[in-house]
Amino acid sequence: MEHSHQENGTVAMQKPNTGAIWRTFWFLLAATTIEFIVAFTMTDPSMKMLRISIFLILTLYKAFYIVGEFMHLKHEVKVLIWSIVLPVSFIVWFVIALMVEGDSVLMVR
Amino acid sequence: MASHSATTTQSANLWGGGVEPMKASYGKLMMWFFLMSDTFTFSALLITYGMIRFSNHAYLGDIDSYVFSQEYWPIPDKVFNAIPFLHGVHLPLVFVGIMTFILIMSSVTMVLAVEAGHRMDRNDVQKWMLWTILGGIAFLGCQAWEWTHLITGTETGSLIDGKPFFGANLVRNEYGPPAFADLFFFITGFHGTHVLSGVLLNIIIFYNTVIGVYDRTGHYEMVEKVGLYWHFVDLVWVFVFTFFYLI
């Protein structure tokens, strides 16, 4: 099988280009650190919704970086990006439906 | 070769085969679509966790007077608070933080291996693949410890049906409703199985790199494909970490 990015023999002399990789690593580490700080400091029950929102936003932020940079999806062609992102976006409905369902099960109990 | 000629003759021979509308090879596309289906599996599992959690009572009292009970869903801080060699010290989320760090780190070494593959640098691919494999094995070791800890339980245990019970299995669980332990074992177990198969795939790729298979075929795309899988495993852990341990 031949591939589009097959390169000629001179590439062996290239220098490693890892700046973007390490930048992504620091983003991921920072997001996880913030999650920890929030988990330990925002323990008051009144801030529960705020805390959960921060966790969710940071999780999606991390997911975006892992999929976009590490899995390289950000740099693929648009058709490929949408054929992955569009089906997966339907999960949002799945989440809402079953959270509501779970809540009403609790009411019935 | 096929795609090089395809780009030049694209307009003349659009339906003649050899055209890559997504600019990705067959193997890479299939890996993406497999990962998409796996996304649905994992989201089904995690959403099930959410639904069952919502259908149980939450603990509403003071956090300092919290005790394990069958009546409400446990607070993760109170369940996952142990780390090896520090018995009896309350260190919530520290061990799982270490596990998260290990997995993110191994994802970084994987992407470095992919980058080295683009440069056809066999030594660098070998080095980074080896680090990735080590990271995967370290994560699995941590998970084994975590499971053992949860199964063995605390020293005090809890009263279930009037008798003291220690630890958790699929039927009884000293930390809270049995469904909590069921979902924990099922979801982290399913994720751990993915990590295990990822480590095995990484070992195969590492072996092929060492014996020079990819130098002979002229590209390191296999590292990329397995890399996609490995990053996906890391991605799933990000979600498991949030939903199981933080919220």
Q: Which residues does chain A have within 8 Å of residue B90's beta carbon, measured at their own beta carbons?
A: none
In a domain, A3, yes or no: no
List all residues of chain A from 47 to 106 with a beta carbon under 8 Å from chain B: 52, 55-56, 58-59, 62-63, 66-67, 69-71, 76-77, 79-80, 83-84, 87-88, 91, 94-95, 98-99, 101-103, 105-106
On whether residue A10 sits in a domain, the answer given is no
**Domain interval for residue A66:** 17-75
Residue with tokens 């996609």: B228
Residue at A50 is within a domain:
yes
Q: Is A52 in the same domain as A92?
A: no
Q: Judge whether A51 lies within some domain.
A: yes
Q: Is residue A29 part of a domain?
A: yes
pLDDT digits (tens, 9 = 90+) for B108-129: 999 999 999 999 999 999 999 9
Number of domains chain A contains = 2
pLDDT digits (tens, 9 = 90+) for B22-73: 888 889 999 999 999 999 999 999 999 999 999 999 888 787 788 888 889 9
B81 vs B190: CA distance, rounded Å: 22
**Residues A86 and A44 both lie in one domain:** no
Tokens of residue A13, six digits: 């002399």
Per-residue pLDDT tens for B184-216?
999 999 999 999 999 999 999 999 999 999 999
B124 with A16: Cβ contact below 8 A: yes
Average pLDDT estimate for A74-88 = 92
Confidence band of B11 (pLDDT split at 50, 70, 90):
low
Architecture of domain B24-246 in this structure: Up-down Bundle (1.20)
Among A17, A83, A94, the residue with its CB nearest the CB of B43 is: A94
Nearest to B112 among A18, A91, A101 (CB): A18
The answer to whether A25 faces chain B, any CB pair under 8 Å, is yes
If asked whether residues A36 and A69 sit together in one domain, one would say: yes
* Geometric angle at alpha carbon B62, from B155 and B77, rounded to 5°: 50
Interface contact flag, B118 A103, Cβ < 8 Å: no
Residues sharing a CB contact under 8 Å with residue B95, sequence separation 6 or more, in sequence order? B80, B82, B83, B84, B142, B145, B146
Residues A59 and A32 in one domain: yes
B86 backbone dihedrals φ, ψ, rounded to 5°: -120, 70
